[in-house]
Amino acid sequence: MSELHHECGVVAVYHWPNRELSPLLPGDTPASAARLVPRMLIDIQNRGQLAAGFTTYNPQRSQLIDTHKEVGAVAEVFHMNRSDEYERLMREYSGHAAIGHVRYATCGKDDRSYAQPFERHHIEKGKWFSFAFNGQLANYRELRQEILSQTDFHLARENDTEILMHSICLELSGDRRPTMIELLGVLSQKFDGAYNIVYLNAVGDMFVARDPLGIRPLCWAKEGPLFAAASESVALSNLGFATENIHSLEPGHAIVIQNGQFEILKFAESPAKAHCFFEWIYFANVASTLDDHNVYLARKALGERLAARETVTVDSDTIVVPVPDTAKAAAAAMAFALRVPCLEGLMRNRYVGRTFIEGRNRADKARVKYTPVPEVLRGKKVLLVEDTIVRSTTMRALIRQLKTRGGAREVHVRVACPPIVAPCFYGIDMSTVKELFAPKFLKNGPLTPAIEAEMARELGADSLQYLPVSDLADCVGKPASELCQACVDGVYPTPAGRRLYQLAVENDRRPELAAGSAGRTYEVDATPGTCGTVPDSAIAASS
C-alpha cells in the first residue's frame, strides 16, 4: 500500500570510551561505535526513504560533533555500495557516540536542508548540539507564531524540527544552564503531539526521550559498555543485543548519559498512553516488538479476525492475495483459517524507489510498482487483503489490474483495519478530511454492509469488508485506552489535535478547497491554498 507514509525514525549509540570493548562493536576502538548507525538506519528504512544522516562525537578532532546527511536512501547517503567511499566516510566521522535519522516529510520541503539531524554550532561546548526528531507537533503553527512574534527572530524552514531547535536554543540561552531533564520538562509543557528525540552535544552528553503519551515507539538496549536506542527493536536485535535486554522506553522518560553516568529519568507525568495502533498494523518492521507486543503477532491476529468475518462462499477457485508487502502476515493468517491458498498474485517491483516513480498520479505509480501474475489470478475468486485504504487511488488501480491484466474472475477487498475517517496530526502523512476515501460514505452514520457495498462499487470491487474498531485493541494486545485510534474513531489524545480536527471538518465543508489543493490542515488559512493561522472560529468550536 503506497498511499501512506510515516515521518521518520531515529537511532542512537554510545560506547563508554574507557571501558572494555563490546563484542558487538564493528571495530577495535570505541570510536568505531558510530559505524553502527548506518546499519541501524537500514533496519528502520521503512520509516523514511527521503533522506538520512548522522551526527557523531569525537573529542580527538576539531569538529567535536560533526554531521553528515543527504537526500536519498540510507545506502545512497552513506555510500554503502562503494566500499572505498563508505570507509572514508566512516573514518572521517568515527566516534564513540552518535545519533541518526531517516526521513519522510509530512512537513517541509524535499531538500537537503530539511534532512536530519539538525546541528547547531556554538562556541560554548554545552550549547553546541545536534538532535533528531520522530513525530509531529500538532501545535506547530502556534509555536511558529510565538517565535515569529519576536521582532528579531526568524525561521528559515516550514517544519516543526526547526521549531524544536529554536525551543532548545531558547532554553539554553543567556546564563541558563538547565539539566537535560529540566530542559525536557520545559519542552513538554510547550509541545502538543508526538516527539521522540535523540540529542548529542559537544561535551559528549546524550539523551534519548519519548513524549508523555508514547505515541511513537522507542526502544533501547544496554550490554556492558554499549548502549543503543532506535525507533524499532529490530535495529537493536540485528546488532546482536539479547532479546531480554531490549526494552521500550516508558512515555515521559528519558535516558541520559552524562559524565559517564547512565540514568533513566522521568521528565513529565504520563497520565495516559496513546500508542499509535498503525505502528503494529502497517508502519513497523514485522520483526519488531513494540511496547511488549510483537508486530507479526498483531498482523496475524488481524488476518484471523478477517477470516472470522468472511461472508463470501469459499470454493476451489478461491485464493487469498496480499498487497505487498506489509499485508502478507494478515493475508497468510486469513488464508490458513479459511483453508485456502495464500498466493502472491501481485508482485512489487522492489527496485522502483519512491523518488524515481514517474507518472501524474498515484494510479500511474501503482501500475509501475505492482505487476499482476495472470498464471496465479486467471479465473480465480480473489480475496485481496490490504492493510488499509486511505485515498483509494492505489486500490482502484490494483483492482483494475487484477481483473484486466491478471484475469481474476472476482476481486473481494478485505481490509485489516477500520475505515480511515479522520486525519493524523502526529506523524502520518494524511492531514485533511478531503483526501480520505471513507468519510464521504459515512456522513450519516456508522459503517454498514450496505455502505461497504457502495464503497465496493466505487472501487470496482465485487465486495469490500473492513474490520471494526473494536477488534484493534485485541489484535494489538493493548487496552483501547492506551491506543491512539484518532484516524478511525475521531478521538484525539491532545488539545491541539482536537482543534486541528475541528478545522479539518470545517475545511471539508468548504467547496472552494478541492481535495489535495489546500495543503495540510495546519497550513490552511481563511484564504484558500495559503499557509497561515488556525481560524478563531475553529478553535472556539472545539473548546
Catalytically active residues are: 8
- Phi and psi (nearest 5°) for 338? -85, -10
Contact 129, 206 (CB under 8 A): no
Radius of gyration of the chain (CA): 24
Residues 6+ apart with CB under 8 A from 50: 71, 103, 104, 105, 110, 354, 355
Which SS3 state, helix, strand or coil, does residue 190 take? helix
Contact 329, 299 (CB under 8 A): yes
**In angstroms, rounded to a whole number, what is the distance separating the alpha carbons of residues 318 and 306?**
15
**In angstroms, rounded to a whole number, what is the distance separating the alpha carbons of residues 339 and 246?**
36
Cα separations (Å) of 313 from 345, 385, 410, 412? 20, 16, 12, 11
End-to-end CA distance of the chain: 36
CB atoms within 10 A of CB 156: 6
CB atoms within 10 A of CB 469: 18
Per-residue DSSP letters for 460-507?
Answer: T-SEEEE--THHHHHHHTS-GGGEE-HHHH---SSHHHHHHHHHHHHH
User: Dihedral through CA 168, CA 170, CA 173, CA 174, nearest 10?
Assistant: -150
Look-up of cell digits 485506552: 481
Contact 249, 218 (CB under 8 A): yes
Q: Which helix or strand (DSSP H or E) is residue 164 part of?
A: helix 160-172
State how beta strands 381-386 and 410-415 pair: parallel
Q: Which helix or strand (DSSP H or E) is residue 228 part of?
A: strand 226-230
> Which residues are registered as beta bridge partners of 494?
none
**In angstroms, rounded to a whole number, what is the distance separating the alpha carbons of residues 53 and 74?**
8
